[in-house]
Amino acid sequence: MGGSGGGEKKVEVVESKEWYLAAYAPEGVPTSDHLKLRTVTLSLAVDSIPDGHVAVQLLWTSTEPYLRTIMTGVEEGGLYFPQIPLNKVITTFGVGRVIVSKDGKFSEGEIVVNPFFPVAEYSVVASHFLRKTDPTAGIPLPEYLSSLGLPGFSAWVGIEVLGKPKPGSNVFISACAGAVGMIAGQLAKLKGCRVIGSTGSDNKVKLSKEKFGYDDAFNYNKETDFDAALSKYCPNGIDIYLDNVGGKMLEAVLNHVNKGAHIPVCGMISQYNKTWTEREGVRNLLNIVGKEVKIEGFLVGTYMNRMGEFMKEMEGYIKEKKISSEHKIYNGIESFLEGFASIFSTSNVGKVIIQVAA
Ligand code: NAP
């Protein structure tokens, strides 16, 4: 394909593959019955693109757990996002190249990040959510979906803004080798905390300790008693628990919290594939009274006014090599479903990203 612009009278049409929601999945991990790939024809002719829009070639796209919660077809609590209409293309965080611009602020060839890029090889999108990347910064593009993207920002809000760590704080993080967990652990270490994690495989335990700097971590699939595991790994109790999984781990943590502990609840991925009546309860919520624990759910969208502060801090850490990340890269837009489904298992490592084009 090729773009058109700069006043050239060149009509361009591309065939573009895109993922759309064909049927809702009230429970279980979504499959090819729910998410389907189709090919559409898209005009890139300048005249067909509305003002304030750009045509973009998608380079990298992101698998985000919250997408699961907007594919159930049930408007019930959870993350409070509206359900995706059937037959509509899925949108998520992505990095793309501008190929035609009808907005003076963006030029052809620029690489942009968008929280709502269609999972489509080519698309025409409104430009107001686009953010330019800095080609001189030397930051690999996948980082914009990882340490500098939604997971990194979530880790920063959870640990730095809500967790309020002090040197020596005892921090526990679930899904510690995942996209949020790997960054959260490193941020807590940079604040001088003792940091413990839980994850689903020995390989991820090793990675958490050796690459992400966790003081210790355990494989929850090998621990039959989470309460006993926390006694062993968190002998001084827990001051901050960044909850990514909910369920039985949250219940166990509440038996180990110190006075005044903070529990920023980033997500509860262990519960996403269940209807709400099947979700696990937490029997010892009473512990939050005597220990004066603050449990606080959050959505990063609420903290967008602090995005600039976060970006500056995180870019500094990346340049100084104080924070590193691990990416599980799938190749080709065809692999989106496989990559997305993998985040509901232990099979992935770090941030799962799809490379759509070079
Ligand atoms: P991720 O950790 O990269 O991938 C999900 C991981 O969760 C899997 O690798 C797996 O790791 C673990 N997992 C999956 N199913 C599980 C289960 N049934 N029980 C226990 N662990 C399970 O995902 P992420 O992007 O970093 O997201 C982590 C959490 O943050 C999610 O709950 C997500 O919804 C939330 N989040 C919230 C916000 C917000 O604004 N609040 C923004 C971004 C993400 P193991 O091998 O360790 O089990």
How much is the average pLDDT of 175-186? 98
* Cα-based distances in Å from 118 to 18, 20, 88: 8, 9, 9
**Would the CB of 197 count as within 6 Å of ligand 1?**
no
First and final C-alpha spacing in the chain: 14
What's the pLDDT score for residue 10? 57
Give nearest CA residue, ligand 1 atom 48: 200
What's the pLDDT score for residue 74? 87
**Would the CB of 299 count as within 6 Å of ligand 1?**
yes
Please check the confidence at residue 146 and state whether its pLDDT lies above 70.
yes
How much is the average pLDDT of 183-195? 98
Please check the confidence at residue 306 and state whether its pLDDT lies above 70.
yes
Beta bridge partners of 296: 264
Question: Whole-prediction pTM value?
Answer: 0.94
What's the pLDDT score for residue 77? 64
What's the pLDDT score for residue 3? 41
Residue to probe by mutation, ligand 1, list 146, 161, 245, most atoms within 8 Å of CB? 245
Give percent above pLDDT 90 in the chain.
91
* Cα-based distances in Å from 312 to 6, 110, 317: 34, 21, 9
How much is the average pLDDT of 96-122? 96
Residue 82 or 177, more confident:
177
Could you identify the atom of ligand 1 that is nearest to the CA of residue 348?
A: 9
**Would the CB of 267 count as within 6 Å of ligand 1?**
yes
d(CA 165, CA 203): 28
d(CA 212, CA 176): 9
Please check the confidence at residue 80 and state whether its pLDDT lies above 90.
no
Contact in structure between 175 and 245 (CB atoms under 8 Å): yes
Beta bridge partners of 295: 263
**Would the CB of 242 count as within 6 Å of ligand 1?**
no
**Would the CB of 3 count as within 6 Å of ligand 1?**
no
Residues carrying CATH 3.90.180.10, the chain: 13-146+325-355
What's the pLDDT score for residue 81? 83
pLDDT digits (tens, 9 = 90+) for 15-62: 999 999 999 999 999 999 999 999 999 999 999 999 999 999 999 999
pLDDT digits (tens, 9 = 90+) for 250-302: 999 999 999 999 999 999 999 999 988 999 999 999 999 999 999 999 999 99
Residues carrying CATH 3.40.50.720, the chain: 150-301
d(CA 69, CA 80): 9
153: CA distance to ligand 1 center in Å? 14
How much is the average pLDDT of 349-354? 97
Q: Give me the chain's average pLDDT, please.
A: 94
Among 7-16, 106-115, 295-304, name the one with the lowest average pLDDT: 7-16
Contact in structure between 217 and 200 (CB atoms under 8 Å): no
What's the pLDDT score for residue 11? 46
Nearest to 288 by CA among 229, 339, 352, 241: 241
d(CA 319, CA 154): 20
How much is the average pLDDT of 189-211? 98
Architecture of domain 13-146+325-355: Alpha-Beta Complex (3.90)
Q: Would you identify the CATH topology of the domain 150-301?
A: Rossmann fold (3.40.50)
